[in-house]
Structure 1
């Protein structure tokens, strides 16, 4: 068959151009984000799922252009956000493979994820090796940026040293008597680091205090009969713990039933996320942190009011630690992406451009200011708060009272010192 005459070709080409112009959505570029958290296992109910729920409502608000300024541009600088959700359950080896799949198969532009410190330690070097952008939204171990140097990896929340220093400072400021203390922490990076940080902080603030029971059950143990018996056999003024998720819930229920908290005040570094689930089974007078000024201890601000209402209306429960941390990661990523786009003519940023934009950045979150000042601009610091629990029968919920806030520079190490060295030196330069 002979080709059509040029006079016929011209209207056909023009029609094709008009058709493309009439359907811009087909050609619209998206920004694909892998979001990783626990969707199954003992950490899912109180931590992983709330974090992912926070991501879902925030992405929806971003894509609709309904977030408050400076977060009110649609999507990321006009690009719709396309989330890919991955379950963190399964261990570090599995997560390394899942991370590779996100970058290589799903072709994500960035990954935001990881709760487990062991998982963070495993995936960070892989993202760096692949030269792909990664935000660690949670995990606690200071080792990520104190023992390694990264170009493509960031953590947009403070590490665990802050949590345990704040606990010790709260005890001291409230004149809580601590002659002896017990500890129960999980036997992996998070628990080991938390135990060390609390012990070193206590050595500075309670020089004469001694610890007795020093328990390290495995992650996901669930049953704590032996540990509860050990605590009962060694009475102390307080019992410190960095347990979290289902492990923390199980420990509180089992220890409470046997009267541990009637004799030893519980001091929990990361316990706010179990308050809605435990309700009146949470012991009164427990001293706890939320790994930041989150949930019931979050500051009053227009941004926090918006976030609180957005999450609460969607899920009929207030946001706690995990969704707050997810929110501040996605807010930071949004501003970094738009900053990078403004510098490169509105084009989708490369991993290198994203990293350059986020390095050393500061932004406002529902929990206050987030500043990337540690780890050569890759590790955040933020303020935190500690409070005491009380069951409010009228409101049918646990409330937090006697809240004390700590500036970021009071409870985080300076940029020129590792956490352990700072603690051993007596926390020099702390601005409280």
Structure 2
């Protein structure tokens, strides 16, 4: 869901290493291979586990990146206070995604080649994830894709060292569509107002593809893509007031979404149309009760401090209270995504260590441990499929105002099982969505009301 430039994924797959090896004689090449295998077979226990973490520390996406960094710092402190992983302390090394993809690629290489990190968490930007997945294989460094949304990574490529610890764009837009079709099945028109970059356009394409299958004939009265970072939505709100769509979709996020909510509320647009805001969980505390009740809100996963059915209520409560105590706000979805990456790292090391009777795993052995791994999130369990894609439930609800909180919370919450809404292994999301059947609506779980 993040700032993306259009990247040719294959351009990142450097052939320099192959060219150099081709120039070597058979004996020299054999020696290099043997040396590499020997190093892998004799992995020494490190003095510390160094983890390179790419996140936005500057720019508009820092509203997600800084909470992600804070979560990593908090959880690494907790791991170290408990003795580390396999008796080894962990240390984060943060890099800023803000300067762009070229900068990030250089930072990724520096983390591996100069900082000698054992593991990398990357990234918020989908463009950065597209760039680093082949780099992970080239440099043979286990990499956890901790927040990026593009579905293309594991649908378009296969990787041995890259794994995603959360869902992708397809379940993140399909779940709110299914919810909409359940709560307002009679709507006849829709408009979209998304940020003008890959996430905004791709998420609308996925949503529209599924909508055309499950409710054909809905009239699209406006498709608007204001520039990323826009602060004035006067033109867009005026057009929406004039066209009067039954439903307004926006997968926007951050400061853009905050501004849109405030300006739409000022002109009573929320009174005329039902808004579907799949990423608005992260805006609720910032916009407060400016966002009216009754609109559809997504949590980009099942990330909600008032989750109606957490797998382990004590685990969720501890996470939320520890974060609030340290940072004085509620955790948002980037915090939960970082927590999932940290839990995956810990579980992967423990699995690899157990497989070797306590001996320290090589990079390849650690990477192998992530495939098929199950690990806890603050609210549920995440599983990494054989293709490297994580399976993550999705929570959707409707905004409600209460006396207890100074911002909207959610009611009529539905937790969609990951398997129900995630493109199967080996299929492309566009093709899979075109094959959806109306009976999927009968599989939507029961909604749960806010309990106070």
- The TM-score range, normalised by the shorter chain, is 0.7 to 0.9
Match of 1:23 in 2: none
Offset, 1:283: 2.6
Query: Larger radius of gyration, structure 1 or 2?
Result: 1
CA displacement, residues 326-383 of structure 1 (integer Å, 9 cap, x when unaligned): 101110111101211223353443321111000111122112111112xx33101121
The match for 1:10 is none
For the residues of structure 2 that align with 1:393 and 1:286, how far apart are their CA atoms? 18
Deviant stretches of 4+, over 6 Å? none
**Partner residue in 2 for 1:20:** none
2:299 counterpart of 1:287: no
SS of residue in 1 equivalent to 2:408? strand
What's the TM-score once normalised by structure 2's chain length?
0.83
Structure 2 Cα separation of the partners of residues 393 and 133 of structure 1: 47
Are the structure 2 counterparts of residues 129 and 218 from structure 1 closer, same or farther at C-alpha, using a change threshold of 3 Å? farther
Determine the structure 2 residue equivalent to 1:31. Answer: 49
Say which SS state the counterpart of residue 111 (structure 1) adopts. strand
CA distance in 2, matches of 1:119, 1:255: 32
TM-score (norm 1): 0.86
Alignment partners' CA distance in 2, 1:149 and 1:163: 22
Matched residue pairs, number? Answer: 395
Partner of 2:239: 230
Alpha-carbon distance between aligned partners in 1 of 2:439 and 2:73, rounded to the nearest angstrom: 40
Higher mean Cα deviation, 215-224 or 80-89?
A: 215-224
1:197 aligned residue (193, 203, 206): 206
Query: Cα gap change, 1:100/1:198 in structure 2, threshold over 3 Å: closer, same or farther?
Result: same
CA shift, 1:218, in A, is 2.9
Alpha-carbon displacement from aligned partner over 1:186-219 (angstroms, at most 9, x marks no partner): 2323222211111122122222312121122233
Deviates more, 1:95-104 or 1:295-304: 295-304
2:126 corresponds to 1:104: no
Distance in 2 of aligned mates of 1:387 and 1:310: 25
Q: Which aligned pairs between 1:10-409 and structure 2 lie closer than 5 A?
A: 29-45=47-63, 47-65=64-82, 74-296=83-305, 298=307, 299-300=309-310, 301=312, 302-373=314-385, 376-409=386-419
Match of 1:106, SS? coil
Q: Kindly indicate whether the alpha-carbon contact (under 8 Å) linking 1:38 and 1:87 is maintained by their aligned counterparts in 2.
A: yes
State the partner residue of 1:426: 436
Of 421, 433, 437, the match for 1:411: 421
Contact 1:162 1:412 in 2 (8 A): yes
Q: 1:310 to 1:160 in 2, by over 3 A?
A: same
1:22 corresponds in structure 2 to none
Structure 2: gaps spanning 5 or more residues: 1-44, 445-452
Q: 1:392·1:398 contact (CA, 8 Å) conserved in 2?
A: yes
Farther off after superposition, 307-316 or 75-84:
307-316
Range that drifts further, 154-163 or 107-116: 107-116
Counterpart residue number, 1:12: none
Does the Cα contact within 8 Å between 1:160 and 1:194 map onto a contact in 2? yes
Where 1:319 maps in the other structure, the secondary structure is coil
How many angstroms does 1:255 deviate by? Answer: 2.4
Unmatched runs of 5 consecutive residues or more in structure 1: 1-26, 66-73
Say which SS state the counterpart of residue 344 (structure 2) adopts. helix
In 2, Cα distance between equivalents of 1:336 and 1:216: 41
Computed over aligned residues only, the root mean square deviation of the Cα atoms, in angstroms, reads: 2.0
The match for 2:32 is none
Structure-1 separation of matches of 2:361 and 2:302: 31
